[in-house]
Amino acid sequence: MSSKTAGREEAMQIPGDTPLKVVRDTPMSRYTTWRIGGPADYLIRAGTTDELVAAVRWGAGEGLPIYVIGGGSNLLVGDRGIRGLVITARTPGERAEHLLTAEDGGDSVLVSVAAQAPLSWTGRYCSERGWAGMDWGVGLPGAIGGATVNNAGAHGTEQKDHLHSVTLLGHDGAIEIKDAAWVDSRYRMTRLKEMPHPRPWTVLGVQLALPKGDPEELRRQADAHAEYRKATQPTGRCAGSTFTNPPGDFAGRLLEAAGLKDFAVGGVRFSSIHSNFIVNDGTATAADVRELIALARERIRAEFGIDLHPEIEEIGER
Ligand SMILES: Cc1cc2nc3c(=O)[nH]c(=O)nc-3n(C[C@H](O)[C@H](O)[C@H](O)COP(=O)(O)OP(=O)(O)OC[C@H]3O[C@@H](n4cnc5c(N)ncnc54)[C@H](O)[C@@H]3O)c2cc1C
């Protein structure tokens, strides 16, 4: 780094002629939907594949631990922040069109989409063109890379259902294409998510095999999903479902039955609209979230003998 001035954005040239800004000591609360998280030592916003590759190569060259995130919508970042480099791989929908290409295969389409493309935008874009299978993503926050790592899903469909392959950049510099079987996606879990942070690879993009369908019908479905979401989930500072559903039951139902709906600790509470969502009132710390999670797990174990597992991931220092 040319300067060690904390909290100031400074432009620096990344080797490879890709102009990227490295930001020092920026609060991760700006990059998570929970709006929680202490400062990252270094942060680079990588909106394109070239920028993502350049950012990873720079971080690896500097010997920094590398944390690649998308929309930060499934993440709890510790109050003391992140020692190392955070790379945000996300792009707003208005600038995402160049991140997606499609190859016609007769009755199906092979769509290649960069990790930064918003999941919701991808769902809408594909549905409007009559490419079926991604309408479930409309209305969900986050980017394609994060959706693939988490095997996100909704309305009976998951990212794995149409995943053909994943393009990975190893932090040793090698680019590899892995097929969907290698990713080993399960309910909100993948081989990628299982690996501890900081991980030795970055998702550059994915290939999706989408059957052709009726654009009108797909558009209608996408609209219905978005409407359902608005009606049943809280808006604001949250990270979606806190816990995965245990087999044959729903975490939200158990939390409600245990009297935890609307239950608060510090600046967080289980939502009155959806009991499995923890909402930040604007003053919360990561410690508050952890405390509420621990309390809920303890109570559900005591009352129902069930061990709830967090769906959200925790990174950074406590
Ligand atoms: C209001 C709300 C509703 C939600 N509803 C749902 C739902 O219905 N279903 C559901 O499944 N989820 C839901 N979620 C959770 C979340 O939105 C999804 O899981 C989403 O797909 C995560 O994507 P992200 O880009 O935000 O990932 P992040 O939270 O940024 O990251 C998730 C993981 O992926 C890794 N990662 C991200 N991008 C890359 C990359 N390019 N390379 C390597 N690693 C990467 C991160 O390191 C982290 O391990 C909801 C969240 C909110 C806030």
Q: How confident is the model at residue 235 (pLDDT cuts 50, 70, 90)?
A: confident
Ligand 1 neighbourhood includes 144 CB (under 6 angstroms)? no
Q: What is the rounded distance in angstroms from the CA atom of residue 293 to the CA atom of residue 141?
A: 22
Q: What is the rounded distance in angstroms from the CA atom of residue 213 to the CA atom of residue 162?
A: 14
Q: What is the rounded distance in angstroms from the CA atom of residue 79 to the CA atom of residue 148?
A: 26
Give, for ligand 1, the residue of 33, 44, 74, 225 to mutate: max count of ligand atoms closer than 8 Å to Cβ: 74
Whole-number average pLDDT of the chain: 94
Q: What are phi and psi of 186, to 5 degrees?
A: -130, -175
Q: What is the rounded distance in angstroms from the CA atom of residue 175 to the CA atom of residue 201?
A: 9
pLDDT digits (tens, 9 = 90+) for 63-105: 999 999 999 999 999 999 999 999 999 999 999 999 999 999 9
Share of the chain above pLDDT 70, in %: 95
**pLDDT at residue 18 in the model:** 77
CA atoms within 13 A on the CB side of 87: 33
Q: How far is the CA of 255 from the centre of ligand 1 (A)?
A: 22
Beta bridge partners of 145: none
Residue in 35, 188, 199, 237 annotated catalytic: 188
CATH: 3.40.190.10, 3.90.78.10, 3.40.50.2300, 3.30.70.100. Which one for 251-315?
3.90.78.10
Share of the chain above pLDDT 90, in %: 91
**pLDDT at residue 5 in the model:** 44
Length of the chain counted residue by residue: 318
Write down the residue that tokens 């949250």 correspond to: 238
Q: What is the rounded distance in angstroms from the CA atom of residue 77 to the CA atom of residue 82?
A: 8
CB 64 within 8 A of CB 85: yes
108 vs 6, which has greater pLDDT?
Answer: 108
Mean pLDDT of 44-52: 95
Where are the chain's structural domains? 9-88, 95-232, 251-315
CATH: 3.40.50.300, 3.30.43.10, 3.40.50.920, 3.40.50.1370. Which one for 9-88?
3.30.43.10
Q: 95-232 has which fold?
A: 3.30.465
Is 256 known to be catalytic?
A: no
Q: What is the rounded distance in angstroms from the CA atom of residue 271 to the CA atom of residue 210?
A: 35
Residue in 120, 241, 271, 275 annotated catalytic: 241
Ligand 1 neighbourhood includes 74 CB (under 6 angstroms)? yes
pLDDT digits (tens, 9 = 90+) for 244-272: 999 999 999 999 999 999 999 999 999 99
Measured by CA distance, the residue closest to atom 4 of ligand 1 is 240
Q: How far is the CA of 192 from the centre of ligand 1 (A)?
A: 13
Between 215-232 and 119-128, two packed helices, what is the crossing angle to 10 degrees? 150
Residue in 51, 73, 165, 311 annotated catalytic: 311
Ligand 1 neighbourhood includes 238 CB (under 6 angstroms)? yes
Give, for ligand 1, the residue of 140, 178, 312 to mutate: max count of ligand atoms closer than 8 Å to Cβ: 140
Q: How far is the CA of 32 from the centre of ligand 1 (A)?
A: 10
Measured by CA distance, the residue closest to atom 8 of ligand 1 is 154
Ligand 1 neighbourhood includes 73 CB (under 6 angstroms)? yes
Displacement of CA 137 from its chain's centroid (Å): 12
